[in-house]
Structure 1
Amino acid sequence: MKRLAIFASGSGSNAEQICLYFLHRDDVEVSLIFTNNPQAGVIKRACKLQIPVVFFDKKTFYETGKIQQILQNEGIDLVVLAGFMMLVPPFLVDAFPKRMINIHPALLPKYGGKGMYGHHVHEAVVKAGEKESGISIHYVNHHYDEGDIIFQASCDIDPSDTPDDVANKIHKLEHENYPRVIDQILSGQP
């Protein structure tokens, strides 16, 4: 059985979609959800789905090997970032080469990097008058949003679209594609 760990800092809608996608599979399991935010919506979603949640703080994440040890002890095959706001420390990235992925709400390399997440991205896309946006699923490396791209999907942006309109289009792409791409990675396809 392939085992996933999801890291999330926010509402957890992508994490929930991933969990639901694999819920009735006997070959893949979402084993743990990690969060650095004790107020994160992902906690309620994980509890509803009976998936254990691991809480950690900044010091634990960056200055100890505790998270890496938990991941390795649980036999995690793939680490999935789904709305996780912290830069993963190099030692943790290096422990999971090509086994740690992230989703970004834009067509990288545009609108990536530190501070470019969530609504900040959608506001920048609208302000720039872009005709399209989308999602990028990529491997995690030592820098924000610079890992090798695995998959991208795009959507049209209308001149009348607000950042909220763009966000809705992007969420739809994320929910449709992230679980499927994870499944492909686990089966060795990408």
Structure 2
Amino acid sequence: MFKIAVLISGGGTNLQSIIDNIENGYLENCAIEMIISDREGAYGLERGKKSGIKTYCVDRKKHKGNLSEEILKIVDGKVDLIVLAGYLSILKGDIIKKFKNKIINIHPSLIPAFCGNDMYGIKVHERALEYGVKVSGCTVHFVDEGTDTGSIIIQKTVPVYVEDTPEELQKRVLVQEHKALSEAIKLISQGKISIK
């Protein structure tokens, strides 16, 4: 069984898409071993409890300096892949080394556009619209020491319309995020991704 830890900060719709794809057999031989949130009350934790998955909260306010170390203690030796699904804290230090090429993130733009420090959530879509891009999308990439700098696994595109609001663009991109994240997990779990 290919074991996954999913890290979240909010509502957990990307998490739900993974749960659904395990249940419907798309992600065969995969199991979510645990869900970890960096804030109390994140709805994604409720989603996990409803599905009978172990949940943990490692609050970013309580663990400012050692958040990554606390998470490493929970996941070390227990999972094959860490999936950042709308996780807003930055992982650093030993967890990046120990889980080299075993941590993936979903970002709501076509990296290298609109990524890096302070580029998350609705801000990404606001910037895309300000810039006037005709195409946006999402990127699943490996996590390394930088912010949104790891090797790209999958990108999905969506059209951008003149009349779009940031919220409308966000919803359209989210549909593709749900597909891309499970697709990347499937490829990794089947050993079909290698970094050269």
Secondary structure of the structure 2 residue equivalent to 1:112: coil
TM norm structure 1: 0.93
Match of 1:27 in 2: 29
Once residues 164 and 77 of structure 1 are traced to their aligned partners in structure 2, the CA distance between those partners, rounded to angstroms, is 34
Displaced runs of 4 or more, over 3 A: 58-62
**1:21 partner amino acid:** N
Q: What corresponds to 1:116 in structure 2?
A: 119
Q: Counterpart of 2:97 in 1: which secondary structure?
A: helix
Equivalent-residue separation in structure 2 for 1:48 and 1:88 (angstroms): 27
Answer whether contact 1:23 1:29 (CA < 8 A) is retained.
Answer: no
Given the alignment of the two structures, is residue 6 of structure 1 paired with residue 6 of structure 2, yes or no? yes
Name 1:51's counterpart in structure 2: 53
Counterpart mapping for 1:136-147 below 5 A: 136-147=139-150
Number of residues of Structure 1 aligned to a counterpart in Structure 2: 189
Q: Conserved in 2, the CA contact under 8 Å of 1:62 and 1:89?
A: no
Secondary structure at 2:48 match in 1: helix
Q: Which residue of 2 aligns with 1:18?
A: 18
The answer (yes or no) to whether the contact 2:140–2:180 under 8 Å persists in 1 is no
Cross-structure match for 1:78: 81
The Cα RMSD (Å) is: 1.6
2:160, 2:43 → 1: CA distance?
28
TM-superposed CA distance for 1:104, in Å, is: 0.2
- Runs of 5+ in structure 1 lacking a partner? none
Residue in 2 aligned with 1:178?
A: 181
The runs of 5 or more residues in structure 2 that have no matched partner are: none
Return the TM-score normalized by structure 2. Answer: 0.91
Aligned partner of 2:166 among 163, 168, 177 = 163
Q: Percent identity?
A: 30
Tell me if the contact between 2:155 and 2:180 (Cα under 8 Å) persists in the aligned partners: no
